Structure 1
């Protein structure tokens, strides 16, 4: 499921455009809102070439995990946004939908802003693959300088961006008509242009703002309603919001640990809602746990939405990671 970056519609307004893995009919009762759970991210993006896109996001206390680092679901939301730009650019006039999304930690984001460098890996007739490196900007905000710094291949000096994780996204191609408003979202026309979005206040942290309901923490059962606040272009729950639901489920079944790595395989769209998670612990070790989380559409006969795997670490262990 692909999350499209916010697109200004009127001054002070923005909409988040997102596609889920394509499947049949979807709910028609939920539409886009001018405000979303990502309205305070303050996103800026720059496509130096058709095959590459850079993104910057604000990082405030509201985006932090229980360990004080950037929330994994928050980072995956950003990855989904930035990787979609090269995918859509090379796929035009087709549209794309995210099929698989993964993020593996190399470190953690503690200072910010979050900076991401995404690059096209492969273009096929049916699928497009894009990679992304996620950085703690450590105070750097200029995307042009960010590109120069990481392109220089100079050894780390202790200053400047620090690699926090590596991600990979696979997109499937589909007709552009599948997405309402797609004609207003044309990354192929934005190459070489810096785009910045207004920051709008959003109540609550990255988790509480979604109003998720913890039904049974021991089983990792958490629910997220389908609403305009988390809806995408086709009226279903955005991929980033579903990643946050998965993160919340993993935290619920293993309290005291913090999600650091996630793989998501999107299978279908939320038609009715709520989206409901079920979690199973695969492995418990002294310093980490591995959890499988599946998402279903509880209002549509528990139809399977996504299969995911999450690695959680003890908060103290996050300080021992080696930044590469």
Structure 2
């Protein structure tokens, strides 16, 4: 069948919206009519070749839609099911079977290889193969082929124009807090970066019962919005040493911290902001080879834990429904981060995301 899709063709180039041929689902796959999909920083850095992903390729990895066809051997899905799409995993390696599919030993190939294991793609432009299966889904298309393990069935009343970002960006921020840091009631946490991932982390910290939530950024308007959403303290890193400001708020440092920026200097600030035996998490993506330094001489005696976390160390089929329930209960109002764009305005969505004027763009088909 034919479908419209946004194709990444070269670093920095605008996405090319064109009509492609899309396969029928093969064993282990679903065909999904995509209703909406989030725009994530990862889509931008892959388009710009921070990681060597083959082009041309259909990106997009925060999709939500309706199952149109079910491939051979797939159970648990039927035509008409509503799904949120997350990353792909093998389900068989030691990490998957231990409940950590985001660290699947085949994660890179399944999510960044943009090919099936046999080398084929689900999209073609005439005789030209176009990369598919990005993060298991390639959701910058009106119809796409999805690895069934990457799909999460959701209730029929789920608003598909909102929930796609739960498959990556919001899962990353919230999961890093709820699954990895696990702050208890009355605890303190600092979040570095007030983008969608950082805001999701902050909302999750509120849901966990943390009572001191410090947001750190250099954009005053974003900090003000963070306070509106529930931050208890703000640190404007452009107004002086961020660590000094933070420790003035929380003497001795915070128990937990989350760096969503991927900026080496900010990673050092996060480590320096932690209290004795504190736990910090890095989720921000940086270019391959990026180095960050911390003062190991001073920090050795603190007993810190520093973790590198992918996708919030979540099990999507458990965690995405959990976030939906928190939203329904009013405890995770992620809808306030979202602005909708028609699919044809994908360029504007990426520009607004890069400029910081929109926290979480969502393309609607």
Tell me which protein shows more strand as a share of its residues: 1
Tell me which protein shows more helix as a share of its residues: 2
Q: TM-score, normalised to structure 1's length? A: 0.25
Q: TM-score, normalised to structure 2's length? A: 0.23
Work out which of the two has the higher radius of gyration on C-alpha atoms and give 1 or 2: 2
